Amino acid sequence: MTDSSTAYTDMDGQFIAGIWRAGRAGKTAANHNPFDDSILNEISLANEADLDDAYKAAATAQKDWGRTLHSERSALFMRVVSILDARKDEIIGWLVREAGSTLLKATIEWGAVRAGAMEAIALPSRVEGKIMPIDVPGKQSFVYREPIGVIGVISPWNFPMVLSHRSIAPALALGNAVVVKPAEDTPVTGGLLLAKIYEEAGLPAGLLNIVVGAVEDIGDAFTLHPTPKLISFTGSTRVGKRIAELAATGTRLKHVGLELGGNAPFVVLDDADLDLAVRAAAFARFLHNGQICMSSNRIIVDASIHDAFVDRFVAHVRTFKTGDPSDPSTVIGPLINAKQKAAALRNIAAARAAGFTELLAGEADGLLVPPHIYSGVPNDSDFAQAEQFAPIAPIIKAANEDDALRLANATEFGLSSAVFTRDMARGIRFARGIEAGMTHVNDISVQDSPFNMFGGEKNSGIGRFNGDWIIAEMTTDHWITVQDTPRHYPF
Active centre residues (catalytic): 259, 293
Give the residue from 228, 280, 285, 233 showing the smallest Cα distance to 261: 233
Could you give the C-alpha distances from 167 to 50, 60, 92, 206, 226, in angstroms and in order?
A: 21, 20, 20, 16, 20
What CA–CA distance (Å, rounded) separates 313 from 278? 5
What CA–CA distance (Å, rounded) separates 152 from 222? 7
What CA–CA distance (Å, rounded) separates 400 from 423? 15
Cα-Cα-Cα-Cα dihedral sign, residues 211, 214, 220, 225: negative
- 299 forms beta bridges with 266, 395
**What one-letter code names the amino acid at 468?**
D
Q: Which residues contact 61 (CB under 8 A, 6 or more apart)?
A: 17, 177, 204, 205, 206, 207
- 479 forms beta bridges with 143
For residues 124 and 174, the answer to whether their CB atoms sit within 8 Å is yes
What CA–CA distance (Å, rounded) separates 335 from 333? 7
For residues 416 and 447, the answer to whether their CB atoms sit within 8 Å is yes
Give the residue from 331, 309, 328, 152 showing the smallest Cα distance to 230: 152
Cα-Cα-Cα-Cα dihedral sign, residues 162, 165, 167, 169: negative
For residues 37 and 14, the answer to whether their CB atoms sit within 8 Å is no
What CA–CA distance (Å, rounded) separates 7 from 95? 14
Give me the sheet containing 14-16, strands edge to edge.
19-21, 14-16, 208-210, 177-181, 150-154, 230-234, 255-259, 461-462
Q: Which residues contact 483 (CB under 8 A, 6 or more apart)?
A: 136, 138, 139
At 392, phi and psi to the nearest 5?
-130, 125
What CA–CA distance (Å, rounded) separates 373 from 367? 18
**What one-letter code names the amino acid at 36?**
D
- 276 forms beta bridges with none
For residues 317 and 373, the answer to whether their CB atoms sit within 8 Å is yes
